[in-house]
């Protein structure tokens, strides 16, 4: 962009902000921002819900095989796959900062370079994390899981290694498309993958009677279908401005990219692992199988609904990064406000819905009366968690869009692991409240984290953040 055009853009931004401060055109600005936000969020909600539904379908088929099968695939997905999923998803979110700001600054060719750097970093990370799959059974036994449950979950984990490597390829592709406002492509491909997954699951589990191994194999196949379809779209001309083919530039600046990816990975991994640790702790209670089943059902419902705030996480990250990359700090602030308010309204709706269906929603996963009763007792905590999670991911999206990942990683360590988990253990065992106490204590950690992120966002100097984004783009350009 020429200097004259930059000046016009800045003047337009200042004029819009002046209108806002005077109370003129506020409704119009909210409408315009909402349209830009939903352009990202609506397809993101669809694609995330569809993708998560593949896991729910797999878990539901496993649940109807038996209680041990449901607990086994839940533990494998939670402890082994879940850890790696969270870490690599977090590392891929570095692209939301870099690609989002590059797109806002109109440096389009850099998006393809950044994605290739992310592929390199995530593939190396996937290789390093492989031992978790090979030694899943002894790790789970060391963590206190019952021997039979640990053995079967370990077997399932080995079958999920192809799924593990799909993360390294798929996540950067999703963020690459998302940051250039091509979420509709993600949505369509996710829908195709879901149709494939339903058919393959029926074929492997119901028709061919492959049991638990069949349910695990279906996830591998479906996720790789999604990855290949997205790459085919990108490589076959779907992104002519941002994909120029494979480039040696991808190997330049890997250390700087790795540092931001690692900070992003730690930040989101700590969040992703937090409630997965809840299931792990529950496995050490009396009647662990029933407790894990009930909590797994609640976490599945929570995870399903969480796809909506996570879509707002993505949308907020892109909008904030785009505005900061364009040098518009006030626009980033306004985008944050609109996104947070919208997500809270949606969270309130689902909170009320869960309370209304407290004794019915578990029928999706199980017909066991014992498990249904246990889920009913946990429904109030599920509703409160859903409400709280309508705020926290959006504030994390602000952090990703602004490049605050390292700071938020420290916040997460303190809130989750120094407050939430010790409080959950205290209430669960010392006060004999069981899974109710563990979950309630960990909700306390999430509340503390949300309050801190809200404080950081409110106190943020957005003009200063816009300057930082400009400096970051200049440094990345020097690394060519």
Contact residues for 84 (Cβ-Cβ < 8 A; gap 6+) = 126, 129, 132, 164, 167
At residue 66, the 3 state secondary structure works out as: coil
Alpha-carbon torsion, ordered 5, 8, 12, 15, to 10 deg? 160
| Of the candidates 368, 229, 351, the residue with the CA atom closest to the CA atom of residue 302 | 351
How far apart (Å, rounded) are the C-alpha atoms in residues 146 and 125? 30
* C-beta atoms surrounding 362 within 10 Å: 26
How far apart (Å, rounded) are the C-alpha atoms in residues 316 and 92? 16
How far apart (Å, rounded) are the C-alpha atoms in residues 106 and 104? 5
Contact residues for 436 (Cβ-Cβ < 8 A; gap 6+) = 377, 378, 381, 428
Phi, psi of 57, rounded to the nearest 5 degrees:
-60, -45
| Of the candidates 311, 337, 338, 401, the residue with the CA atom closest to the CA atom of residue 41 | 311
Q: What is the mean pLDDT of residues 336-344?
A: 92
For 330-346, the DSSP string reads: HHHHHHHHHHHHHHHHH
**Per-residue pLDDT at 472 exceeds 50:** yes
Domain residue limits, the chain? 3-478
Q: What is the mean pLDDT of residues 275-298?
A: 73
Sign of the torsion formed by the C-alpha atoms of 41, 42, 47 and 52 = positive
The predicted model scores a pTM of: 0.76
Confidence band for 476, pLDDT divided at 50, 70 and 90: low
How far apart (Å, rounded) are the C-alpha atoms in residues 283 and 175? 35
Q: What is the mean pLDDT of residues 293-315?
A: 82
Which single residue is written with the structure tokens 């796959």?
A: 81
Q: What is the mean pLDDT of residues 157-169?
A: 91
Ramachandran assignment for 432, one of left (phi > 0), alpha (psi -120 to 50 degrees), beta (any other): left
Contact residues for 177 (Cβ-Cβ < 8 A; gap 6+) = 183, 185, 186, 230, 233, 234, 239
How far apart (Å, rounded) are the C-alpha atoms in residues 468 and 401? 12
Which single residue is written with the structure tokens 């399932």?
A: 156
pLDDT for 287 equals: 62
pLDDT for 144 equals: 76
**Per-residue pLDDT at 245 exceeds 50:** yes
Question: Contact at 8 Å (CB) between 424 and 441?
Answer: yes
pLDDT for 12 equals: 47
pLDDT for 7 equals: 42
Half-sphere exposure of 239 (CA within 13 A, CB side): 29
Radius of gyration of the chain (CA): 22
Burial category of 353 from C-beta neighbours within 10 Å (exposed 0-12, middle 13-18, buried 19 and up): middle
Q: What is the mean pLDDT of residues 131-142?
A: 89
**Per-residue pLDDT at 426 exceeds 80:** yes
| Of the candidates 172, 184, 195, 216, the residue with the CA atom closest to the CA atom of residue 61 | 216
Contact residues for 9 (Cβ-Cβ < 8 A; gap 6+) = 1, 326, 327, 328
Question: Contact at 8 Å (CB) between 145 and 75?
Answer: yes
pLDDT for 6 equals: 42
Confidence band for 212, pLDDT divided at 50, 70 and 90: confident
Confidence band for 44, pLDDT divided at 50, 70 and 90: confident
pLDDT for 419 equals: 92
Vertex 291, ends 288 and 295: CA angle to 5°?
135
Q: What is the DSSP letter of 160?
A: T
SS3 for 190-227 is HHHHHHHHHHHHHHHHHHCCCHHHHHHHHHHHHHHHHH
For 123-153, the DSSP string reads: HHHHHHTTHHHHTHHHHHHHTT--HHHHHHH
pLDDT for 341 equals: 92
How far apart (Å, rounded) are the C-alpha atoms in residues 121 and 127? 10
**Per-residue pLDDT at 454 exceeds 70:** yes
């Amino acid at each position: 962009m020429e200097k004259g055009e930059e000046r016009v853009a800045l003047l337009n931004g200042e004029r819009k902000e002046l209108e806002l401060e005077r109370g003129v055109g506020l409704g119009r600005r909210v409408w315009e921002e909402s349209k830009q936000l939903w352009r990202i969020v609506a397809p993101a909600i669809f694609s995330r819900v569809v993708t998560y539904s593949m896991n729910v379908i797999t878990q539901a088929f496993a649940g109807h095989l038996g209680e041990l099968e449901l607990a086994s695939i839940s533990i494998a997905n939670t402890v082994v796959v879940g850890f790696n999923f969270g870490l690599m998803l977090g590392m891929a979110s570095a692209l939301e900062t870099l690609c989002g700001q590059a797109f806002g600054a109109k440096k389009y060719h850099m998006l393809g370079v950044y994605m290739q750097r992310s592929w390199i970093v995530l593939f190396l990370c996937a290789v390093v994390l492989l031992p978790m799959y090979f030694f899943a059974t002894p790790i789970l036994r060391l963590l206190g899981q019952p021997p039979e449950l640990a053995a079967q979950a370990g077997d399932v984990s080995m079958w999920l290694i192809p799924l593990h490597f799909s993360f390294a390829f798929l996540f950067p592709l999703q963020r690459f498309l998302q940051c250039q406002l091509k979420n509709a492509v993600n949505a369509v491909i996710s829908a195709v993958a879901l149709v494939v997954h339903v058919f393959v699951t029926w074929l492997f589990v119901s028709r061919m009677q492959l049991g638990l191994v069949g349910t695990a194999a279906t996830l591998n196949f479906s996720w790789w279908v999604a990855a290949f379809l997205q790459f085919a779209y990108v490589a076959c001309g779907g992104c002519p401005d941002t994909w120029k083919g494979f480039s040696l530039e991808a190997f330049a600046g890997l250390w700087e990219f790795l540092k931001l990816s690692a900070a992003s990975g730690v930040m989101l991994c700590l969040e992703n692992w937090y409630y997965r640790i809840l299931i792990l702790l529950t496995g050490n209670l009396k009647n662990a199988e029933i407790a894990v089943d009930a909590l797994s059902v609640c976490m599945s419902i929570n995870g399903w609904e969480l796809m909506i705030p996570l879509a707002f996480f993505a949308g907020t990250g892109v909008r904030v990064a785009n505005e900061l990359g364009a040098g518009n700090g006030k626009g980033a602030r306004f985008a944050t406000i609109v996104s947070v308010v919208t997500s809270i309204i949606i969270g309130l709706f689902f909170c009320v819905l869960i309370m209304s269906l407290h004794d019915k929603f578990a029928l999706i996963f199980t017909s066991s009366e014992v498990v249904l009763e246990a889920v009913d007792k946990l429904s109030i905590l599920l509703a409160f968690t859903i409400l709280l999670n309508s705020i926290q991911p959006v504030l994390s999206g602000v952090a990703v869009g602004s490049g605050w990942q390292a700071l938020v990683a420290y916040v997460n360590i303190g809130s989750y692991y120094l407050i939430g988990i010790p409080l959950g253990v205290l209430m669960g065992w010392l006060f004999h409240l069981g899974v109710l106490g563990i979950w309630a204590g960990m909700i306390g950690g999430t509340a503390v984290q949300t309050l801190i992120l809200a404080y950081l966002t409110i106190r943020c100097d957005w003009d200063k953040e816009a300057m930082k984004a400009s400096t970051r783009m200049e440094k990345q350009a020097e690394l060519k």
